[in-house]
Amino acid sequence: MEIWINPACSKCRSALTLLDAEGAEYTVRRYLEDVPTEDEIRAVLDRLGLEPWDITRTQEAAAKELGLKEWAKDADSRDRWIAALSAHPKLIQRPIITAEDGTAVVARSEEAVRDALSR
């Protein structure tokens, strides 16, 4: 299992604490430093069963600068969103845990972390 985190994020730290308490084996990816490629973002979206706009932090300064709230949320715009997430990784919702069964979860709650652990 891998977890994408921003160490400054309290939800990320909470997820790590829970994973440690449960004795989970995982790899940490500091995605602001080890920026995911567009293909990696596509793969995680497939695992999540979500679209790029579903995991975009639209309140971030970069989102406002890009005008993301005005972008279309459709198949034709999907690659544009993915490119923005790769170019501005701070826009990616966190933490994201890729589970052992090939799925993933946005682990912003204890329930979501436990869900990932149960897979």
Q: What is the DSSP string of the chain?
A: -EEEE-TT-HHHHHHHHHHHHTT---EEEETTTSPPPHHHHHHHHHHHT--GGGGB-TTSHHHHHHTGGGS--SGGGHHHHHHHHHH-GGGB-S-EEE-TTS-EEE--SHHHHHHHHH-
Active site residue 12: no
Q: Which of 1, 9, 50, 99 is catalytic?
A: 9
Nearest C-alpha neighbor of 86 from the set 119, 44, 27: 44
Residues noted as catalytic: 9
